[in-house]
Chains A and B, each alone.
Chain A
Amino acid sequence: MSFSDAHSPISDDLASRRDMIVCDNVNKWYGDFQALKDVSATIKEQEVVVVLGPSGSGKSTWIRCINRLEVHQKGMIAVDGVELSNDLRNIEKIRSEVGMVFQQFNLFPHLTVIDNITLAPRWVRKLPKSDADARARALLDRVGIPEQADKYPGQLSGGQQQRVAIARALAMEPNVMLFDEPTSALDPEMIKEVLDVMKGLAESGMTMMVVTHEMGFAREVADRIIFMEEGEIVEVGTPEHFFTDPTEDRTKLFLSQIL
């Protein structure tokens, strides 16, 4: 496996930065089925990494392992220098520092948009309600839907819901944002509004790890692309390298099927 060491193609600028996410030989099984095979990668501060791969290749499992929605069984994952172990303090710390956006939005349907966003800042970060509200409104402004604050999620369109979900994750002021196929459940005309928000986020210097099928987004925004298949990392490279001159046959096959 030529790219099990994922650090080589990183530019000098990146190399000097802080490690945000470190994965070292991460393995995970569901019964007999091995979902992750010796996955190793390091994601630097302010880096945007897009994970590509056919469905069932373990991309989502991996990203969900990083804030312990799934528990990896072997290997090591560390976020911002904190190892993800059985230690309750570490789990708490990592979860409040890593924001996550889901394919199905997973907004809380019984709370208004503003309550969705302020819930965690108030009860986890212990912010006063007024501060949390102010921050939430600023974030809604940033994702472009300030007027929807007092509606319920059910009254919003899919794209608006996903933007609220992004705002909800950002309200915790995370160091890292994880996106698990954020546009897959959206109608085509709503995909752009979500991608625009993500692009803005990337430009502002957020460390991001994105599982997606949006090749355009990957080419334009990603600093690095990781290609996975059958639970292992097949190839890592810059977008130009990946889309124009991939080394691995499996990558070529994948690209020929989707492009």
Chain B
Amino acid sequence: MSEESGVALESATEDDIDDQPMLKPEEPSLPPGEWVQKNLFSSVFNSVLTILTIVVMAFAVRGLLNYIFSEERVWSAPATNARLILTFAYPESQYARVWVTVGLLAVLAGTSIGLWAQWAGVSAKKLCFWSMNLGSGILLAIVLTQPGVHRDAAGEVLRDADSAVLRKSFATAMSDRLVWWIVGLAFIGAGLLAWNWLGEMRRRTIRVPSSALIFGSLGLIILSLWIVNYGHYAFSDGEFIAISGRTVASTTKQPWTVMWLILVGSFFLGRRISQSQRAVSVKGLMNLAWLLSPFIIYWVILRDPSIDYSHVWTTDLPIFLAFAIGGGAILWLLSYPGIGEAGRLAGVGLVVVAIFQFAAAFTGWYPMLQKARISFVVLALVGLAASNFSGERSQRVRFVGVWVVLMALLHYFATVMNSPATVDVVSENFTGGLTVTLFVTALTLMISFPLGVVLALGRTSSLPIFRIMSTAYIESIRGVPLITILFFFSNILPLFLPDGMDIAEFAAIILGYSLFSAAYLAENVRGGLQAIRRGQYEAADALGLTSPQRTSFIVLPQALRISIPPLVGQVIGTFKETSLIAIIGGFDLLRIGNQVIPAQTQFLGIKRENLLIVAAMYWLITFAISKYSMRLERRLGVGER
């Protein structure tokens, strides 16, 4: 099966250009006979090659199918443990929170697709092809898979005297698969019928919107939950032991249906907004929401912090107000257009005080809340840059407004993160499975992106010390394997911290991933920076822009746009690299598949099935992102330049 779907998807990529609004002049498609002649049997060598490959592939596919459908496979292991693979030990009683998370993501995803996606759709011709491909794939699988086994009344496999498995005859096997014959033929028939009924012209001009295809197929999958009862799942609380019980399908069909409705609903909402006047501001809001979503999901929704309100009133809120009002006032002064050098010197003064604060934190001169020190550093950095982004009144109001919002977010999340969780998890790890994989990926990218940009700017800087420092960092990180860095951060980092300062292992791991990823990201951004012509710098200089202004208004917007394709590659790389959590002690989906499930009494030693499912999950997500990146690359026209 997987082979065939691979072919179908692959052929989809070849002429994805179809998706662009413009109709490309299509090569007249050859009649099947000529096509086979040209592509498969053009010479003696080619014919031999073709036949050889087909034979080898047929054996490989048969082997794979036999493996998947063998009576020895225990697919119930990953199916039963679906919840473990996705959310690890998150308590079932709190599962409403997981659904809220999925709902939030559905709203974000649906709205974003509606706002941004410019899909022209898939031509009817291609849909016909897909249908026929899928049908032929099913038929091929039916023929190639070996006949099933005879079982006794108790479901045990029957064996002969030499304990070899007894298989049904080929004819019985084929008639057993009657349903699948019908399904396969139906797909082929539907494709052929549509093909002939539409005719050459309409085949190419009629387009089904991609959104309809995606949401439709998701809907079909969810619909199937109502019809087929997939998977058993249940846990005795506190133990990772699977007990067969209710099915996955029966317990999740209602929530999934609701999620689907939310997704589609917010898609139409997004479409609606994209045509209105407010599209630009809503897009900005959506970006902010995506940026905040990991924090909200993890610390607010999933952990459900119990906030100590007396502490909030006496400490947290006053500190926030002090920074919002006091800092806002300082920034209001510093962004006064005529402030000149005095502003710069004041900024430097702020930085010195901020550094002093941190030195005090390390040496313990005087106590102060960590978040106050961090807020001060942020204030100093913003203050240092203030003169570059100052302007007349409305500009300054906006500047200070952004500052207040920033402080509100910083202090809110600091409070939330410091509050204990009310959700009681039986494992020492709060999350695991796919959740932790996605969460580590998101946080790593968020931290490493600014760091990588700074490193790239340093490496291309004309200031030699910055260049040397950035290059040394980038090259030494790139020279060593990720796993050694993760070991460093999970084992050694705590040794480096002063007394009284502590870092959760989870945070240490994310820090390790971020510092590693930043070095690679910097190289990608550097490529973009080097592609910007000297004239852009000169024009900015000639206009009198300062170098922070030049960097943020002229250089980075262009460089980052050029770097988008390698940056998406970086996202994929980071996502795949999170599998290393399995080695350093976290419970990500790989560790669960490789160690946790095989340790359950029902599924003792069952590894390969889980690993294949895990691999398929990784494959699906990675493949989707990489396909999206190819589209993006084509739309930006990066390849053609």
Taking the complex as a whole, does A directly touch B, i.e. does some CB pair lie under 8 Å apart?
Answer: yes
Residues of A contacting B395 with CB < 8 Å?
122, 126, 128-129
CB distance from A110 to the nearest CB of B (A): 5
Assuming the contacts A95-B544, A108-B554, asked whether A102 and B391 have C-beta atoms less than 8 A apart, the reply is: no
Residues of B contacting A99 with CB < 8 Å?
542
Contact yes or no, B558 A109, CB < 8 A: yes
Residues of B contacting A226 with CB < 8 Å?
none
Contact yes or no, B538 A168, CB < 8 A: no
Contact yes or no, B549 A89, CB < 8 A: no
Contact yes or no, B392 A104, CB < 8 A: no
Residues of B contacting A108 with CB < 8 Å?
536, 539-540, 554, 558
Which of B390, B391, B533, B538 contacts A69 (CB under 8 A)?
Answer: B538
Residues of A contacting B341 with CB < 8 Å?
89
B219 close to A (CB within 8 Å): no
Contact yes or no, A104 B535, CB < 8 A: yes
A124 close to B (CB within 8 Å): yes
Alpha-carbon distance A106/B337, docked complex (angstroms): 27
Contact yes or no, B541 A95, CB < 8 A: yes
Alpha-carbon distance A100/B545, docked complex (angstroms): 13
A26 close to B (CB within 8 Å): no
Alpha-carbon distance A92/B554, docked complex (angstroms): 18
User: Using an 8 Å CB-CB cutoff, how does the interface string of A103-115 with B read, 1 for contact, 0 for none?
Assistant: 0101111100000
CB distance from B261 to the nearest CB of A (A): 39
Which of A89, A106, A124 contacts B544 (CB under 8 A)?
Answer: A124
Contact yes or no, B553 A123, CB < 8 A: yes
Contact yes or no, A106 B538, CB < 8 A: yes
Assuming the contacts A89-B341, A100-B542, A106-B538, asked whether A122 and B391 have C-beta atoms less than 8 A apart, the reply is: yes
Contact yes or no, A123 B391, CB < 8 A: yes
Alpha-carbon distance A104/B533, docked complex (angstroms): 11
Contact yes or no, A110 B558, CB < 8 A: yes
Assuming the contacts A108-B554, A110-B561, asked whether A67 and B542 have C-beta atoms less than 8 A apart, the reply is: yes
User: Using an 8 Å CB-CB cutoff, how does the interface string of B536-571 with A read, 1 for contact, 0 for none?
Assistant: 101111111110010001100110010000000000
Alpha-carbon distance A199/B388, docked complex (angstroms): 35
User: Using an 8 Å CB-CB cutoff, how does the interface string of B334-372 with A read, 1 for contact, 0 for none?
Assistant: 000100110000000000000000000000000000000
A127 close to B (CB within 8 Å): yes
Assuming the contacts A106-B536, A123-B549, asked whether A69 and B543 have C-beta atoms less than 8 A apart, the reply is: no
Contact yes or no, A172 B539, CB < 8 A: no
Contact yes or no, B390 A126, CB < 8 A: yes
Alpha-carbon distance A122/B553, docked complex (angstroms): 12
Residues of A contacting B275 with CB < 8 Å?
none
Alpha-carbon distance A169/B544, docked complex (angstroms): 10
Contact yes or no, A119 B544, CB < 8 A: no
Alpha-carbon distance A107/B390, docked complex (angstroms): 24
B163 close to A (CB within 8 Å): no
CB distance from A35 to the nearest CB of B (A): 17
A251 close to B (CB within 8 Å): no
Residue picked from B388, B393, B536, B538, most chain A C-beta under 10 Å: B538
Contact yes or no, B538 A102, CB < 8 A: yes
B389 close to A (CB within 8 Å): yes
Contact yes or no, A95 B536, CB < 8 A: no
Contact yes or no, B535 A123, CB < 8 A: no
Residue picked from B340, B390, B544, most chain A C-beta under 10 Å: B544
User: Using an 8 Å CB-CB cutoff, how does the interface string of B314-351 with A read, 1 for contact, 0 for none?
Assistant: 00000000000000000000000100110000000000
B394 close to A (CB within 8 Å): yes
Residues of A contacting B393 with CB < 8 Å?
128
Assuming the contacts A95-B543, A120-B543, A168-B543, asked whether A106 and B554 have C-beta atoms less than 8 A apart, the reply is: no
Which of B545, B546, B549, B557 contacts A110 (CB under 8 A)?
Answer: B557
In this complex, what residue of A is CB-closest to B540? Answer: A108
A40 close to B (CB within 8 Å): no
Alpha-carbon distance A99/B542, docked complex (angstroms): 7
Alpha-carbon distance A124/B536, docked complex (angstroms): 17
Residues of B contacting A126 with CB < 8 Å?
337, 390-392, 395
Residues of B contacting A172 with CB < 8 Å?
543-544
Contact yes or no, B542 A69, CB < 8 A: yes
Residues of A contacting B554 with CB < 8 Å?
108
In this complex, what residue of B is CB-closest to A92? Answer: B544
A96 close to B (CB within 8 Å): yes
Within B373-406, which residues are at the interface with A (CB < 8 Å)?
388-395
Within A66-124, which residues are at the interface with B (CB < 8 Å)?
67-69, 89, 92, 95-96, 98-100, 102, 104, 106-110, 119-120, 122-124
User: Using an 8 Å CB-CB cutoff, how does the interface string of B508-537 with A read, 1 for contact, 0 for none?
Assistant: 000000000000000000000000010110
In this complex, what residue of A is CB-closest to B538? Answer: A69
User: Using an 8 Å CB-CB cutoff, how does the interface string of B469-492 with A read, 1 for contact, 0 for none?
Assistant: 000000000000000000000000
CB distance from A136 to the nearest CB of B (A): 13
CB distance from B401 to the nearest CB of A (A): 16
Within A134-179, which residues are at the interface with B (CB < 8 Å)?
168-169, 172
Residues of B contacting A106 with CB < 8 Å?
533, 535-536, 538-539
CB distance from A95 to the nearest CB of B (A): 4
In this complex, what residue of B is CB-closest to A100? Answer: B542
Assuming the contacts A110-B558, A110-B561, A119-B553, asked whether A127 and B392 have C-beta atoms less than 8 A apart, the reply is: yes
Residue picked from B542, B553, B561, most chain A C-beta under 10 Å: B542
Alpha-carbon distance A109/B539, docked complex (angstroms): 12
In this complex, what residue of B is CB-closest to A69? Answer: B538
CB distance from A46 to the nearest CB of B (A): 21
Residues of B contacting A95 with CB < 8 Å?
541-544
Residue picked from A98, A99, A107, A110, most chain B C-beta under 10 Å: A110
Assuming the contacts A108-B536, A119-B553, asked whether A124 and B543 have C-beta atoms less than 8 A apart, the reply is: yes
In this complex, what residue of A is CB-closest to B534? Answer: A106
Contact yes or no, B389 A123, CB < 8 A: yes
Alpha-carbon distance A119/B390, docked complex (angstroms): 13
Residues of B contacting A68 with CB < 8 Å?
541
Alpha-carbon distance A69/B536, docked complex (angstroms): 12
Residues of A contacting B390 with CB < 8 Å?
126
CB distance from B374 to the nearest CB of A (A): 28
In this complex, what residue of A is CB-closest to B336? Answer: A126
Alpha-carbon distance A99/B543, docked complex (angstroms): 7
CB distance from A104 to the nearest CB of B (A): 5
Residues of B contacting A168 with CB < 8 Å?
543
Contact yes or no, A128 B394, CB < 8 A: yes
Alpha-carbon distance A110/B528, docked complex (angstroms): 14
Residues of B contacting A104 with CB < 8 Å?
533, 535
Contact yes or no, B337 A69, CB < 8 A: no
Residues of B contacting A169 with CB < 8 Å?
542-543
Alpha-carbon distance A157/B271, docked complex (angstroms): 35
CB distance from B390 to the nearest CB of A (A): 6
Assuming the contacts A69-B538, A102-B538, A106-B538, asked whether A124 and B392 have C-beta atoms less than 8 A apart, the reply is: no
Contact yes or no, B535 A102, CB < 8 A: yes
Alpha-carbon distance A102/B542, docked complex (angstroms): 10
Within B242-283, which residues are at the interface with A (CB < 8 Å)?
none
Closest 7 CB pairs of A and B: A96-B544, A106-B539, A126-B337, A106-B535, A120-B543, A100-B542, A95-B544
**26 A–B pairs (Cβ distance < 8 Å), ordered by A:** A69-B538, A89-B340, A89-B341, A95-B541, A95-B543, A96-B544, A102-B535, A104-B533, A104-B535, A108-B539, A109-B558, A110-B557, A119-B543, A120-B543, A120-B545, A122-B391, A124-B543, A124-B545, A126-B390, A127-B391, A128-B391, A128-B394, A128-B395, A129-B394, A169-B543, A172-B543
Given contacts A126-B337, A126-B395, A169-B543, 8 further A-B contacts (CB under 8 A): A102-B542, A104-B533, A108-B536, A119-B543, A119-B553, A124-B549, A128-B392, A129-B394
